[in-house]
Structures are given as structure tokens and as C-alpha cells.
């Protein structure tokens, strides 16, 4: 059985006085694509941010490739081999696409993707290498945000709403990229509102409601779970 790349146990998280996560439990094995589903405000993005240590406070356990990280700062968590792609993308407007791509440091001992590999996955980024971040389309910015974490050598990828607001052709491309990354051994956690995008990609699903995991199931159970998902998500 593949090793656990991420194991979250009894995770609680706060923003100031607001208690957002209530005992979240989830496990992701090496090479899996796992999707966290839920309505807006269910706690999905906060779960990713809490894994990265980017919340006001957190308790519980977050083990990344066997290393307990709940007391570590975000930059130290990233160095373990975690790539976080936030919903807002975080593209530096004053830098070119290539400068954005090369900016993050490479992880020590990791096999970072070379530029020719990244351009093979995202040829648009080669065409737009000299373009400032502000001149990139939304789809190009999203490709750049994903490519940037691949460049670091991260093996556990946390992707937050990467399909949001993008043209169908770009969404299709991102789906192909995730399938390709799985075949290369990457481990992916997806937070997605776009159920049609996420459903065929995931090996397993977790469903959140009010800051808790309320359901989990595998890809083989998806058809039988659609009635329950309709109630929980309105899909």
C-alpha cells in the first residue's frame, strides 16, 4: 500500500475568535488525487490553509510524509515538499511569466521540474515567457500558478479552486494536467466548486459541511452517492 503523504487528525482552526474547523480528519496516500467537496463556507479552503499553517491558530495533527507539522511555520512546511496554489493565484504583476516561474526557491534534495518539462505541459507559458503578469489571461495566470509549484520540486500539491472562472478549454487542459501529474507520482488535494471538473479526476472524495468532514467515498462509489451529494452540494 502506498505511504501516507498527508494525514490530518482532529484538526481545529481559527481566524481570530472564529472557530472554523471542527476535528477534520483526512488521509491522502502517495499518488492519489483527492477532492474536498462542499458548499461555499463549508471550510474547504480553510482546510488547505490550515494544512499550510496559514490560519490564526490550529490544533490537532497534520503529518506530511510522516513529519508532524502542526507547530511549524508555513515556509518550513513548504520546504518539506508541499506546493500550495491559492484561489487568488498570487502572480507578481511586475514580473514576467518566466520570472514568476523562476522566483520560488528549489526544495533541497527534490527533483524540481525543469523549464522544458513545464513548457511541455504548458506551452502557452513559453509563448508568454516575457509577458508581465498583468498581461496574462486568467487561464494563463492559473497555468503559471500551478507551474510555479511544480518548479520547486513539491510532491504534495494543494490546489484551491483552480478551475474557477476559466474558459472550458482551459478547464479541460487543467484536468489533463492533473491526470498527467498522477501518472508521474504526484499527490494532489483539490478543493473544487466545479463538480463536473473534479468528479472524474479524483480517486477519493471528502465532503465538508460546517467545518467538518461529513462523508467520504471512493471513485467507484460516486454513482451511488449522487443522491446524497445532491442534498449536500446541490449538484
Q: Which pLDDT score, from 0 to 100, does residue 234 have?
A: 73
Mark 200-232 as b/e (b = at least 16 C-beta within 10 Å): ebbbbbbbbbebebeebbeeeeeeebeeebeeb
pLDDT band at 142 (very low <50, low <70, confident <90, very high): very high
Q: Which pLDDT score, from 0 to 100, does residue 235 have?
A: 54
Collapse the DSSP code of 207 into the 3-class scheme (helix H, G, I; strand E, B; otherwise coil) and give the result: strand
Q: Which pLDDT score, from 0 to 100, does residue 133 have?
A: 86
Min mean pLDDT across 26-40, 99-113, 202-216 is at 99-113
96 to 9, 87, 105, 124, 152: CA distances (angstroms): 40, 20, 17, 13, 18
Q: Is the pLDDT of residue 170 over 60?
A: yes
Mean pLDDT, to the nearest integer, of 142-166?
93
What gap in Å lies between CA 92 and CA 156, rounded to an integer? 23
pLDDT above 70 covers a percentage of the chain that reads 100
pLDDT band at 134 (very low <50, low <70, confident <90, very high): confident
Q: What pLDDT digit, counting tens, does each position of 71-116 carry?
A: 999 999 999 999 999 988 889 988 999 999 988 888 877 778 889 9
How many other CB atoms sit within 10 Å of the CB of residue 187?
26
Collapse the DSSP code of 7 into the 3-class scheme (helix H, G, I; strand E, B; otherwise coil) and give the result: strand
Handedness of CA 93, 99, 101, 103 (dihedral sign): negative
What gap in Å lies between CA 55 and CA 83, rounded to an integer? 17
pLDDT band at 194 (very low <50, low <70, confident <90, very high): confident
Q: Which pLDDT score, from 0 to 100, does residue 144 have?
A: 94
What gap in Å lies between CA 22 and CA 146, rounded to an integer? 29
Are 175 and 200 a contacting pair, CB within 8 Å? yes
Mean pLDDT, to the nearest integer, of 7-15?
97
> Domains in the chain and their CATH numbers?
4-233 (3.40.50.300)
Burial of 123 (0-12, 13-18, 19+ CB in 10 A): exposed
Amino acid at each position: 500500500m502506498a505511504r501516507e503523504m498527508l494525514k490530518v487528525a482532529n484538526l481545529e482552526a481559527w481566524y481570530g475568535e472564529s472557530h472554523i474547523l471542527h476535528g477534520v480528519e483526512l488521509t491522502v496516500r502517495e499518488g492519489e488525487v483527492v477532492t474536498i467537496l462542499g458548499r461555499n463556507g463549508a471550510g474547504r479552503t480553510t482546510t488547505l490553509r490550515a494544512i499550510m499553517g496559514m490560519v490564526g491558530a490550529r490544533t490537532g495533527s497534520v503529518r506530511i510524509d510522516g513529519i508532524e507539522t502542526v507547530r511549524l511555520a508555513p515556509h518550513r512546511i513548504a520546504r518539506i515538499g508541499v506546493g500550495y496554489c491559492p484561489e487568488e493565484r498570487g502572480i507578481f504583476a511586475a514580473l514576467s511569466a518566466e520570472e514568476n516561474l523562476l522566483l520560488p526557491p528549489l526544495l533541497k534534495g527534490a527533483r524540481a521540474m525543469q523549464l522544458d518539462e513545464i513548457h511541455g505541459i504548458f506551452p502557452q507559458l513559453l509563448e508568454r515567457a516575457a509577458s508581465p503578469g498583468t498581461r496574462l489571461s486568467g487561464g494563463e495566470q492559473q497555468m503559471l500558478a500551478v507551474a510555479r509549484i511544480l518548479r520547486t520540486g513539491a510532491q504534495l500539491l494543494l490546489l484551491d479552486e483552480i478551475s474557477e472562472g476559466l474558459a472550458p478549454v482551459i478547464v479541460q487542459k487543467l484536468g489533463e494536467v492533473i491526470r498527467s501529474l498522477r501518472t508521474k507520482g504526484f499527490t494532489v488535494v483539490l478543493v473544487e466548486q466545479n463538480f463536473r471538473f473534479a468528479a472524474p479526476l479524483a480517486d477519493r472524495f471528502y465532503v465538508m459541511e460546517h467545518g467538518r468532514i461529513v462523508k467520504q467515498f471512493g471513485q467507484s462509489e460516486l454513482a451511488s452517492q449522487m443522491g446524497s451529494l445532491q442534498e449536500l452540494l446541490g449538484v
